[in-house]
Each structure stands twice: as structure tokens, then as C-alpha cells.
Amino acid sequence: MKIVLQNLTKKFPSRTKKSKDEVVAVNDFTFEIPDGKLIGLLGPSGCGKSTTLNLISGLQKPTSGKVFFGEDDVTDLPAEHRGVGLVFQSYALYPHLTVKQNITFPLENLKGIHKMTKEEMAARALEAAKLVQIDTLMDRKPGELSGGQQQRVAIARALVKMPKVLLLDEPLSNLDARLRLQTREELRRIQRETKITTIFVTHDQEEAMSISDLIVVMKDGVIHQIGKPQEVYDDPINQFVATFLGTPPINIFHGYVEDGRLFIGNEAVLSVTNVPNQEVTVGIRPEGFILDENGPLTCKLNRVEVMGRDISVVSTHDLCDNAAIRSIIDAENNVDTNSETVHFALKPTKVHLFHKGTGERIRFEV
């Protein structure tokens, strides 16, 4: 089922009682989530991701705007009747119920023609448990499970009622690094198998990039960019999106354009023919550097980190905002670690120019 958000806005009264300012958690969202896809809502904490999720689940009511499930307007429909599956950040497993009781809990709520017998429920619960591979833990209580197992129970509980939409709020944030990697693959697999439209919220861009069909990058209640992960990475709409995506992060330099050439300091590093003269912010992806004795960009060399297939050259530059410039280069290149400086040429596709004031992207031709 596709989900459509139309001019969705949610305002909260300010936390300090005295001022009448409102906090706009979600500001005029309009976008369509296609059926059967895995969508990552991505942004720094406090950007309104979780609020968006709550508006879709019905736990919160929008200040204005509408939510559609398919063609139906569900804006005023209480959460109880929306039939969504929701996995909470802290899982919200009922501590006094066993895993099995937790998973069958949503099924016991069904009424009328949907009412199920105990056997049907048990069968469905087992099916869901098998999908997330916890069918051997059915009689334990949540307190006796590890974080990863609890997380699977939470997913099973959300899936068991075969929801039209599955919502996950920071589903992996309480897991340790290794488990997080494993579980996110799992999530992808489950979504593929069930084909349920799934929206998950995360502040971890790597997580969002790695498994989403589409990512929605947000900040301060505003959507910045929607697109396929690679597209958003390669073609960020502004400086925020560019800096938020990518590890190691993009390197930000202060530069200016003069006569169709991009300068960082006194060095003309790239030709940008169609850009009028102005000061610009230059973002260079770590993989946008080419080691070149005669390259125009000269940086002070700090150290070289060998990472197997690649090497990471760590250097500094007076006009760079990052404390250290990280550039990732093929390991076949040799870097003279005794040298004080390192010279780079740049790959034009990995260099983005942004407007100095607004951070908007300035597109250029080589």
C-alpha cells in the first residue's frame, strides 16, 4: 500500500511555558511513499523523524495536512484502527508476558470476522517467529533475552498481524555494532520477503544508505532531499545533505570562483566554466582526491592509514573546515610518508560547490 503525506505539519507548544513560540517538528511535508518499498527517514536527532512516524501510525495528530493510506484519508483515524505495525526504539515488549504472548497480543485484539482461534493464533505467531528466527525462544520473558533477540520479538509482534505498513523507530540503535550490521541485512531480507511497505527512522546515514530503496533526508522539520541512496549521495541538493551523508564525511573548503576557475587559496583546482565569480563552499568527497605530484591542491601531510584495499591519507589545509582532510586512495599508490606535503588533483564529479550563504548547490560544467 502506498502512503501519501500531504502538507503534513505538526507543531508543539514551546517547552518553556513563558514564550508562546511553537516548535515546528514537521513542516509542510508532501511526499508519496510507493507501495512495497523500504524507506529510510534520515536526519540528525530532533529533526522530526519520529514525529513523522507517529503521525503515520496515528499516535499523534497532525496540526494540519493529511495522511492517506492508498486512496483513503486516515488523518482522523485513531491508531487503534489503522492497522500499522510499529517497532519502537526501546522495543516496548510487555515485560510480564512471554515472547509467545507478546507476539499473539495483537491477534487477540481482532474482532468480528477477523477473530481467530487459539490454534490459528499460535500458528501465525510461530510463522512470524520463524521469519525472524526466534521460534525457539517462545516461552521466555523479554527480560531473559538479549537486545538483538528482543528486537526480533518486536519485529515479529509488528509483523504478525500482517500490517499494511511497517514502521520502525530507530530499530537498530540499541544494538551493538556487529549486531547492527547483521540485523539490518535481516531487516532488508524480511522486507523483501513480506513486501510490506516499510518506513524506518534512523540518524545513522550508513544504515539508511545500505538498505533503503529510498531515503528521505530531513533537518529541523524540513525535508531536504528524497531519492535513491546513491543518487542522493552523488547529487546532494545542498551542503547539509552532502555533509550528512558519507563516511568519512565530505571535506569542506572555503574557496572562490574567478573567471570560470575554482580557487582554494591561490591554487586553481578545477575549471568551472559556467559559474559566475563569487565566494563558494567547496565539498570534496574523500574518494574525489587523486594523488598527483603536479596536482594543484597542496595539503600538509599528517599520516597515512593503510586499510587494505585502500589507503587513507590524512592531511590538513588552512582553508578546510574539517579538522583533518581524509582522502581515500587506491592502495597501489605510494605516498612518501616523510614528505611534509601532499599534492592532489580532483575528480570533478566528486566535487560539489555550495552557495556561501544558503548552502544551496551550485552546479557547474567542467
Partner 1 sequence: MDYLQISKAANIRKKITSGIIYALLAIWAVIVLFPFYWMLLTSVKSYGSYNAEHIPSFFTLSPTLQNYVDAFTTVSLGKYLTNTLIFTLITTAIMMVVIVLAAFAFARLDFKGKNIVFTLFLSLMMIPNELVVITNFVTVTNLDMRNSFLGLILPSVTSVFYIYLLKENFAQIPDDLYYAAKVDGTSDYRYLRRVMIPICKPTLITIVILKVIECWNSYVWPRLITDDPDYYLVSNGIQEIRENGFGRENIPAMMAAVVVISLPLIVLFLIFRRKVMEGVTRGGTKG
Partner 2 sequence: MDKKNLKGWLYLIPAFLFLGVFMIYPLIDVFIYSFEEGYNSASQNFYGVGLYNYSYVLHDPYFLQALKNTFILVIITVPVSTGLALLIAVGLSSIKPLRELFQTIYFLPYVTNTLAVGLVFMILFKKTAYSDGLINLLINLFGGSSVDFIDGPYWAKMLVLCLYTIWVVMPFKILILTSALASVNPIYYNAAKVDGTSAFRIFRRITLPMISPMIFYLVITGFIGAFKAYSDAVALFGTNLNTAEMNTIVGYVYDMLYGDSGGYPSFASAAAIILFVIVLTITCINLLVSKKHVHY
Q: Which stretches of the chain bind partner 2, using CB under 8 A?
A: 57-59, 78-86, 88, 90, 92, 94-97, 105-106, 108-110, 157, 161
Q: Where are the alpha helices (DSSP H) in the chain?
A: 49-57, 99-108, 118-131, 147-159, 177-194, 205-211, 229-234, 239-244
Site for partner 1 in 233-292 (CB under 8 A): none
Write down the least CB distance from residue 75 to partner 1, Å.
Answer: 8
Write down the least CB distance from residue 74 to partner 1, Å.
Answer: 6
Closer residue to partner 1 in complex, CB, 73/144: 73
Site for partner 1 in 27-86 (CB under 8 A): 72-74, 76-78, 80-81
- Please check whether residue 224 is in contact with residue 238, taking contact to mean a CB–CB distance below 8 angstroms: yes
CA-to-CA distance for 242 and 111, rounded, in angstroms?
Answer: 49
Residue 213, H or E segment: none
Write down the least CB distance from residue 306 to partner 2, Å.
Answer: 46
Closer residue to partner 1 in complex, CB, 197/251: 197
Write down the least CB distance from residue 102 to partner 2, Å.
Answer: 10
Write down the least CB distance from residue 20 to partner 2, Å.
Answer: 19
- Please check whether residue 348 is in contact with residue 366, taking contact to mean a CB–CB distance below 8 angstroms: yes
74 binds, among partner 1, partner 2, none (CB under 5 to 8 A by kind): partner 1
CA-to-CA distance for 228 and 222, rounded, in angstroms?
Answer: 18
86 binds, among partner 1, partner 2, none (CB under 5 to 8 A by kind): partner 2
- Please check whether residue 250 is in contact with residue 284, taking contact to mean a CB–CB distance below 8 angstroms: yes
Query: What would the grid cell of residue 102 be?
Result: 507478546
Nearest to 146 by CA among 110, 112, 182, 111: 182
96 binds, among partner 2, partner 1, none (CB under 5 to 8 A by kind): partner 2
Q: Which residues bind to partner 1, rule: CB under 8 A? A: 72-74, 76-78, 80-81
